[in-house]
Amino acid sequence: MRSNSNRYSDIRKMNNFNNKLESKNKRYEVHEAIVATLEDVALRLVQRWGRGKLERLASPQLAVAFQQAKQNYEKATLDNDVKYIAQKAKNLIQGWQALEKYAKQQGHKPEPSKVWYAIAPIECDAFTYAIVRDQSDMQFVDKESADRTYTLDEIARILHKFEDNNKAATEIKDLFAGSEIVGTGYYDKYGQEIMKGDKKNEKEKDRYAELDDEIPF
């Protein structure tokens, strides 16, 4: 028979575990917010100037300082100190802003409004695409700032083919205004895509198939 003291000791251990778990979850949420803010700043500047353009326009001293800020931030993310990560993220954001300020001071201007740069997510290899209205605007694309260039007509054709092969995605877009497509495959409980032929996650994929019924409205 267990004594009350042992029972209460177990409860205290469980409470301590829950408190630590809650604290860890809060740190994770803060970290995610920091990453989102930093990525938003970087994404807007890359879309405005093109991939790597600001770094190429920077002075040697500024370019070195920016690379150091990037390395410091990357090292900080390996630590669990959220305040330290936030500090290095702030430094890197200031670095991005310094790059743009310097470029403008040297008389450079962002890419013409005829060119849009779209950066694919990391899970899509972070490819950078240049998008233009038509073939005549391709002359404005900085070849070093994009992996590939598409016209609006080409994108429309690609989207039409995509919608033909992904009816579920198009139905969701039609039913739910403002919905966003973040993937078109099957994903495990950790958010990783289940690749074709992955026997390890075959049961997980079968479970999705069971739930692949029509939306009743």
In a domain, 6, yes or no: yes
Contact at 8 Å (CB) between 188 and 208? Answer: no
In a domain, 89, yes or no: yes
Residue 84 structure tokens: 């330290």
In a domain, 168, yes or no: no
Predicted confidence (pLDDT) per residue in 118-129, tens digit: 888 766 677 889
Residues 6+ apart with CB under 8 A from 187: 193, 194
In a domain, 1, yes or no: yes
In a domain, 57, yes or no: yes
Contact at 8 Å (CB) between 112 and 61? Answer: no
Predicted confidence (pLDDT) per residue in 152-210, tens digit: 999 999 999 988 888 888 888 888 888 887 766 655 554 555 555 555 555 554 554 44
- How many separate domains does the chain show? 1
Structural domain for 29, as ranges: 1-110
The reported pLDDT for the residue numbered 193 is: 57
In a domain, 37, yes or no: yes
Threshold 0.85, pTM exceeds: no
